[in-house]
Amino acid sequence: MTLFLQFVLTGLVTGCFLILATIGFSFTRRVEGFLNIAHAELLGVSAFVTWGCNKLLGWHILPSAAVGIIVTAFAGLAIGRIVYDPIRRFGPSVMLITSVGVAYVIGGTIDALIGTGIRTLDIPLATSYRFWGLRITDYQLLVVALAIVSSASLALFLNRTSTGLAIRAMSANPELAASRGIDVRKTSRATWLISSGLAGVAGVMLGVIATLSTDIAFHQILQILAVAILAGLGSLYAVIVSGLIVGVAMDVSVFWIPAGYRPLVAFAVVILVLLFRPQGIAGSAAGK
């Protein structure tokens, strides 16, 4: 029973990481209106920039992480401006397919610069805490805390600040928002910085809780997609619930079936949900 609860706890941590990874993706989908497959590659960018500062330049982890997140945020903004803005008029399908090309470019660049092999950050070993026989490490607690802080501050930002309200207006009705005097370029800049910055945070956490290899980003996109579909594309608050569901489902499944099936469990959940509720947990419009 303790073992089972341990799996549930680990699953909750995995779920919190998935929330961090997915919330920027869903934010892009909500505001920019397309699925950015290259979002996961941004996690890789952040993780390896952090690794480079930390390991190659010998910096402390905190400034390294800050540099990683900022570089990723601006990389995302640059990609948005150079690649996605000019093709907006072709519609979401073309943007979705283009983002596969972007993923190729980023993935190939990382491959060429870093090479194969497994990398780890230069940080103290995790300290493990025990509660009622359950173990959790301080880094895992950090993931949980960051997931809570990120989603709460994103919610506050969208509901309380004028830029946040402008972003919501843009995502609901771009023409009306523009005609009411909202600065389209400014809101779009904020959107890209926020969504890529969130990918940056997730990327750093990936480096902290896992080992890094160059194909890591691609594995993340599968789970990000699973969580995003389950939540209903574009909804933000449901990402929290669906991230936890997918995380717990994946880790608890290890209790009964071989661990190799973890990704399969994520998608099995997604397929089941799509068959019975095509709009996801929170979606209202029929899947179209």
Partner 1 sequence: MIQSLILSTLMFGAMFSVLTVSLNLQYARGGMINFGTVAYFAAGAYAYAIFTQEPPSGLDQYAFGFDMPWWAGFLAAGAAAMLFALITGWPTLRLRGEYLALTTFAFAEVFHSILLNERRIGNGSVGMANVERPDPAAIGLGDTLGYTLAACALMLLTAWLFHRLLASPYGRLVDATRDDEIAAESVGKDTARVRLQIFVISAIPIGFAGALYAMITTLVAPALFSAEVTFFVWIALALGGERTILGAILGTMALVFFQELVRVIPFETVRGAQIAASAEEVITGILFILVLRWQPWDRLSRKAGS
The binding site for partner 1 (CB under 8 A) comprises: 34-35, 83, 86-87, 90, 92-94, 96-98, 100-105, 107-109, 111-112, 115-116, 218, 222, 225-226, 229, 233, 258, 260-261, 263-264, 267-268, 270-271, 274-275, 278, 287-288
Closest CB 115 distance from partner 1, rounded Å: 6
Q: CA-CA distance, 81 to 40, in Å (whole number)?
A: 18
Greatest extent of the chain over all pairs of C-alpha atoms, in Å: 60
Closest CB 94 distance from partner 1, rounded Å: 6
Q: CA-CA distance, 106 to 144, in Å (whole number)?
A: 28
Give the strand pairing for 134-137 and 128-131: antiparallel
How far is CA 92 from its chain centroid?
20
Closest CB 148 distance from partner 1, rounded Å: 28
Please name the residue that has the structure tokens 């301080």: 138
- Grouping H, G, I as helix, E, B as strand and the rest as coil, residue 38 is coil
Closest CB 190 distance from partner 1, rounded Å: 24
Q: For partner 1, which is the closer residue by CB, 182 or 251?
A: 251
Q: For partner 1, which is the closer residue by CB, 36 or 140?
A: 36
Do the beta carbons of residue 247 and residue 158 sit within 8 Å? no
Q: For partner 1, which is the closer residue by CB, 126 or 222?
A: 222
Closest CB 212 distance from partner 1, rounded Å: 16
Q: For partner 1, which is the closer residue by CB, 93 or 161?
A: 93
* DSSP bridge pairs for 212: 119
